[in-house]
Amino acid sequence: MCGYLDGPEQIRPLEAKLLAAFQADGSVDTYGNVRFHFHRDRKMRRMESLLEAYCPGAYSRGADSFYIPRKSAGFAAFGKIAGAYLLQWSGEALDAYIEELVYWDGSAAGTILCHLTTISKEHADWLQTVAKLRGYGSQVNLQRPADSHPNRQALWRVSLNRRQYFNLASGEKTDIYEKQPTAIYCPHIVTGK
């Protein structure tokens, strides 16, 4: 079953969306300015709408690129890899981040909200963790091993869907037998009953 994390840090959902875009397609130059370069019109339109809402007039647009000066690119301070900082974000910001992923590194198919691809196992694991903590079903799979081609890196696939409960048919049952007595610690929860 999934959970519903709602952290104390109130970052703007728009900043969370820009971080999702940055982690997928952005880069930082030596001066800390952010650049995006796209080949798809849909990404150009999406980025322009986000930047108009986030920092109107503070960015430059080329024919297939965007430039955001470092003073207007606070979202880039989080870096290119998802991490533990996400556990501090409000539920609203996390939902905005997760929902935005499909526009940049993902594809939607059938009942799946989206499939995301990344070359970073750490990034994939954090995306899965945060998705599960916000009520999404998620799995991480190795889509392409690194040794499949000499010049390629491993490619990880993260699936996101709205299923909140684990499907027992897709799981494995493992029986563990202890040979020695082992203490098991259970938390005491006050239920009010």
**Does the predicted model carry a pTM greater than 0.75?**
yes
Task: Note the pLDDT tens digit of each residue in 146-189.
Answer: 777 777 888 899 988 876 665 556 566 666 666 777 776 666 55
Reading the chain (193 residues) residue by residue, the pLDDT tens digits are 567 888 899 899 999 999 999 999 999 999 999 999 999 999 999 999 999 999 999 999 999 999 999 999 999 999 999 999 999 999 999 999 998 988 887 766 655 667 888 899 999 999 999 998 998 888 899 988 877 777 788 889 998 887 666 555 656 666 666 677 777 666 655 555 4
Percentage, residues of the chain above pLDDT 70: 80
Q: Is 10 exposed, middle or buried (0-12, 13-18, 19+ CB in 10 A)?
A: exposed
Tokens of 66: 């965007």
Whether the Cβ atoms of residue 47 and residue 36 lie closer than 8 Å to each other: yes
Whether the Cβ atoms of residue 159 and residue 168 lie closer than 8 Å to each other: no
Residue type, 139: Q
Which of 64, 13, 68, 15 shows the shortest CA–CA distance to 41? 64
